[in-house]
Amino acid sequence: MENVQLLEAYKRMVLIRKFELKAKKLFEANKLPGFLHLYVGEEAVAVGVCSALRVTDQITSTHRGHGHLIAKGGDVKKMMAELFGKATGYCKGQGGSIHISDYNTGILGANGIVGAGLPIATGAAFAFKYKNEDKVAVCFFGDGASNRGTFHESLNMAAAFKLPVVFVCENNLYGISVDARYVAAGVVNGKNIADRAVGYDIPGVVVDGNDVNAVYEAACVAVARARAGEGPTLIECKTWRQLGHYVGDPDNYRTDEEKAAWLQRDPIKAVGTQLLEKGVCSQEDLDKIAADTDALIEDAVAEAEAAPYPDASALLTDIYAE
Ligand SMILES: Cc1ncc(C[n+]2csc(CCOP(=O)(O)OP(=O)(O)O)c2C)c(N)n1
Ligand SMILES: [Mg+2]
């Protein structure tokens, strides 16, 4: 990444981190309804990938979606209001964290169904190709999702039709409390999830998901390939979530040694150090970014708290059932 881009990436990663740590506090104080799955520690994946995208490109997200939404340009005020269940939120307070979407910035939606984003992104890419639009779709999904049928169906269709889509597997080593080695075939023998790309005759790339530069470089290659009509790429980002699966998870399935080792590799601290070493910023600059971000988040919370809940008459609007 060029220096200017790296600085922007840093700001975005700090915004994601601070948004989520604030949301965690609010949730623990019983101020937010629903469930909260945090992305803390994985920010380099969303920001690295979205830095390679245009506003008009589209993404699908997961149950752990705040990072993807903020990285793609989502509005933290509308996100915070949605977390509070307020009428000013992205889903008018009726969706919560897991259902946020924003078509203006190309966010086709967070999704509570593991693996559901894969066919949605593939469908978006099919539409781009069919309508001859110069757009790329990106699907973020987890190691757990890569064991679902939707993963295999989507990779097959995208490869067969050379669709402009990039599949980004966020391998954080766990699906809830289950170690990927026990449930993702081949992983126990040292194979990568990216190796599954061979079966679909597309490139499969493994990157350090805690290194925003590495993620960005891999994403640029995959996005260029997609734009050029050469078809999909599977990128596996090796990363780790620093907190439990959801806020409230006792997180007793990971050892202290594992936690200590990964906490050493914080993706945001790494970029901060790079910015200082390259002389792009001073420590005061980084402190100011932190303070400005805190102020933005506090504003978002104050506005969300002051906003009204949806009117009871809205209870049956925007509800879909088959
Ligand atoms: C189809 C489906 N099956 C099961 C669940 C329950 N569930 C929610 S999150 C999750 C684990 C997902 O793991 P992974 O894809 O690795 O994503 P991560 O949580 O690690 O980001 C499961 C099984 C679900 N939401 N949807
Ligand atoms: Mg996982």
Which atom of ligand 1 is nearest to 143's Cα? Answer: 16
**Angle, CA of 99, 110 and 101, to the nearest 5°:** 65
CA of 63 to the centre of ligand 1 (A): 8
> Is there a domain that residue 147 lies in?
yes
Supply the pTM of this predicted model.
Answer: 0.98
Q: What is the pLDDT of residues 239-288, one digit of tens each?
A: 999 999 999 999 999 999 999 999 999 999 999 999 999 999 999 999 99
> Is there a domain that residue 133 lies in?
yes
> Is there a domain that residue 312 lies in?
no
Ramachandran bin of 115, using left for φ above 0, alpha for ψ from -120 to 50, beta for the remaining angles: left
DSSP letter (8 states) at residue 102: B
CATH of the domain at 259: 3.40.50.970
> Is there a domain that residue 322 lies in?
no
pLDDT value for 322: 63
Q: What is the DSSP string of 111-141?
A: -SSTTTHHHHHHHHHHHHHHTT----EEEEE
Can you read off the two tokens belonging to residue 190? 């040292």
pLDDT value for 318: 84
- Ligand nearest to C-alpha 149: 1
CA of 179 to the centre of ligand 1 (A): 12
Q: What is the pLDDT of residues 116-125, one digit of tens each?
A: 999 999 999 9
CA of 144 to the centre of ligand 2 (A): 5
Domain residue limits at 237: 3-305
Residue of the CA atom closest to atom 11 of ligand 1: 175
> Is there a domain that residue 61 lies in?
yes
- The DSSP element (H or E) to which 260 belongs, if any, is helix 256-263
CA of 281 to the centre of ligand 1 (A): 39
> Is there a domain that residue 297 lies in?
yes
> Is there a domain that residue 320 lies in?
no
Whether 172 is in the pocket of ligand 1, judged by its Cβ within 6 Å, is: yes
Partners of residue 179 on adjacent β-strands: 174
Whether 167 is in the pocket of ligand 1, judged by its Cβ within 6 Å, is: no
Can you read off the two tokens belonging to residue 77? 């005020």
pLDDT value for 315: 86
* Rounded alpha-carbon distances, angstroms, from residue 180 to 116, 123, 299, 312, 318: 19, 27, 39, 43, 37
Count of domains in the chain? 1
C-alpha–C-alpha distance, residues 252 and 44, integer Å: 25
Give percent above pLDDT 70 in the chain.
100
Cβ-contact 66, 24 below 8 angstroms? no
Instruction: Say if residue 94's pLDDT is above 70.
Output: yes
Residue of the CA atom closest to atom 6 of ligand 1: 114
pLDDT value for 147: 98
Residue 287 burial by Cβ neighbours in a 10 Å radius (0-12, 13-18, 19+) = exposed
CA of 177 to the centre of ligand 2 (A): 9
> Is there a domain that residue 311 lies in?
no
